Each structure stands twice: as structure tokens, then as C-alpha cells.
Amino acid sequence: MMGCCFSWCRDQSSSEETGDNERRTLIHPDANTSIQTNPPTLENVEPLTPSQVKKNDEQSDLNRILQNTITKVIDISALGCNNLEHSEYIERMNIYKAKLNVAPLPQILRHEECLLVDIPSPALSSCDISDYILINQTCEKAELAFKNVKVEHTNDLVVPFMIP
Amino acid sequence: METSISNFVQEIVSTNEGVGLLLVDNHGLCLSKGGDVDSKSSGLISAIAQHVAKLEPNLGPPVICISGDQGKILIKQGSNVTTAIFKPNDTPNGS
């Protein structure tokens, strides 16, 4: 992008002199005449006529800059949308699954056992309030039970060897 | 020595029919288990709890519910113990 912009800023004679190298203009200026190759300078600005108002001239310059910007910007919003419908999601998932079954993947990538293997589609269920109470109470009791773990002294940790 | 944890696990499993219970320490090692639970899941359970807790670090430890066709897994991380309850779908609710 920077190389492309840099090449637009140079005049045409210097680009022809450099020939084929990495700094060459990617798009030849004659290929698309709608794109203005030279930035507005004092030489290529037309002289003002007495009937023209200075404000209108500034407006035309601004419009020209805006037009140049529009021609150089690539609008990616029209290239595609990432929002998938649920049916399309399922359809794509089935296609990918079919392709994965055919593809000769290594055995390590074919996980037969995983936690979410039994979910055929994106789960939409939520946690019940009874489950919420159950896990909270169990967690509190587990903490209490853990704190009640005590090391019982059965044998001496340091045992004297039979050294004469 | 660890009879308090063993008794607690048996109590929970007997009170809630069909429920599995897994207690994991902060290093992902299994402290105790009861019911139809694989102790090999202890590392995964601990990792899930620690990662999910990072989503909202300013709040308390969240209750994680992993739901599937055959049941759900409830996970909550305590200060010393991470508790995981494996609950089949056809199990009647108990407290």
C-alpha cells in the first residue's frame, strides 16, 4: 500500500527511467485514466476567473480530494458478511464434517473422546436455579471438608538408621 | 486423614441419584471422586474453571454449566477446591 502510494506521488518520467524493479508503479497510470495521478500543485491548478468565488474553489478542491480518496479505498464491507444463519451454520458444519471424514488426517487430530462430543448443534440451554444452588452449596461444603483434612501422625518421618 | 472429604463425596452422591462428583485441587489433581466420573477429567475441569474465571476477574468465581444432550457439567472454583458435578438429564433435581 505504501509503495503504491509512493509511486503515485512520483512523476511519470522518473517511473519510466527506473524500469522494472520493486519500486515500479504497480498499476500503469494509462491503464485507468479516471484516477488522477498527480496531486494538486500550483502548476496544475487552473487560474481563477473573476467570476469564481474563492469558497467555491475550495469546495471543488475538497471534492477532488474526496474523489481521489474514494478511488483508492477498497470497500471491504461489500465483500461478504460474517453473520451466519443457524441453518447455514449447520449446513457448513455438515460439509466440513464430511470433508474431514474423507481427508487423510493423522490419528492425533481425530479426537474420539472429548467433553462436548455429544452436542450436535450449538447449545441454547441455560443453568437452572436448582443446579445453581446445588453447585454453590456443594462447593462451600467441599471447602469445609478440605479444611478438615488433617495429617495423622502414624510413623516417625525421620527414622534413625542402625548405625553403630 | 481424608475421611472428611470421602464422607462428603459419598453424602452428595447418595443424596443426588445418578450424580457424579469430582473434587480437584488448584493444581488440577483429583482429590476425590464419587459416582460415574472419570478422574482423568480433573485437569480439564481445573483448567476450564481457571480460564473462565479470567473472563471477569473483578467478580467472584463463576458457576460454569456445560450442557449436552446426555447431561450437564456444573463447575465452580473455590479457594482450595474446584467442584464439578456431572448430572445426567434424567436425574431428578435434588439439593
Mutation target for A interface from B1, B44, B77, B81: give the one with most A CBs within 10 A. B81
Q: Tell me A148's DSSP state.
A: T
Q: Which three cell numbers stand for residue A163?
A: 548405625
* Residue B57 included in any domain: yes
pLDDT computed for residue A157 by the predictor:
78
- Cα separation, A139 vs A143, whole angstroms: 6
* Residue B60 within any structural domain of the chain: yes
pLDDT of A164 over the 70 cut: no
Instruction: Determine contact, residues A135/B16, Cβ cutoff 8 Å.
Output: no
For residue B67, give the 3-state DSSP assignment: strand
| B2 falls within a domain | no
Give the pLDDT of residue B32: 92
Indicate whether A13 pLDDT > 70.
no
- State whether residue A129 sits within 8 Å of chain B by CB: no
Contact A133 B41 (CB under 8 A): no
Under the banding of pLDDT at 50, 70 and 90, the label for residue A65 is very high
pLDDT of residue A51 exceeding 70: no
pLDDT (mean) for A116-128: 58
The nearest CA of chain B is from the CA of A147 a distance in Å of 9
Q: Does A118 score more than 80 pLDDT? A: no
What percent of chain A is predicted at pLDDT more than 90? 12
Q: Which residue of A has its CA nearest to B61?
A: A136
For chain B, what is the domain count?
1
pLDDT at B58: 84
Examine residue B12 and state whether it is found in any structural domain, yes or no: no
pLDDT, residue A8, reads: 46
pLDDT at position A86, please?
A: 82
Instruction: Report the C-alpha gap between A84 and A152 in whole angstroms.
Output: 60
Angstrom distance (rounded) from CA B25 to CA B78 = 9
8 Å CB contact of A135 and B2: no
CA distance B2 to A24: 77
Residue B58 and residue A99: Cα distance in Å, rounded?
Answer: 43
- When comparing pLDDT for B91 and B47, which is higher? B47
Distance linking the first and last C-alpha atoms of chain A: 86
Alpha-helix residue ranges (DSSP H) falling in chain A: 2-9, 12-18, 54-72, 86-102, 129-147
Q: Which of the 8 DSSP states describes residue A158?
A: S
Q: Judge whether B41 is closer than 8 Å to chain A, CB to CB.
A: yes
* Distances B16 to B4, B37, B74 between C-alpha atoms, Å: 18, 14, 14
* CATH classification of the domain holding B63: 3.30.450.30
Residue B35 has pLDDT above 50, yes or no: yes
- Beta strands (DSSP E) in B1-95 are 20-25, 30-34, 63-67, 71-77, 81-88
pLDDT tens digits, residue range A76-104?
766 665 667 788 888 988 998 888 877 76
Tell whether B7 is covered by a domain: no
| Domain-embedded: residue B51 | yes
**Quick check: A130 pLDDT over 80?**
yes
Q: How confident is the model at residue A117 (pLDDT cuts 50, 70, 90)?
A: low
ipTM over 0.90: no
Domain regions of chain A by residue span: 2-37+48-77
pLDDT of B81 above 90: yes
Q: Tell me if A146 and B1 make a contact (CB, 8 A cut-off).
A: no
Q: Which residues contact A153 (CB under 8 A, 6 or more apart)?
A: none
Range of the domain at B33: 19-82
Q: Is A146 on the interface with B (CB under 8 A)?
A: yes
* Cβ contact, residue pair A142, B83, below 8 Å: yes
Q: Percent of chain B beyond pLDDT 90?
A: 52
**Residue type (1 letter), B47:** A
Question: Rounded to an integer, what distance in angstroms lies between the CA atom of residue B80 and that of residue A143?
Answer: 7
The answer on pLDDT for B38 being more than 80 is yes
Q: What average pLDDT does the segment B57-81 reach?
A: 89
Mean pLDDT of B59-66: 90
Which of B18, B44, B26, B36 is closest to B82 using CA atoms?
Answer: B26
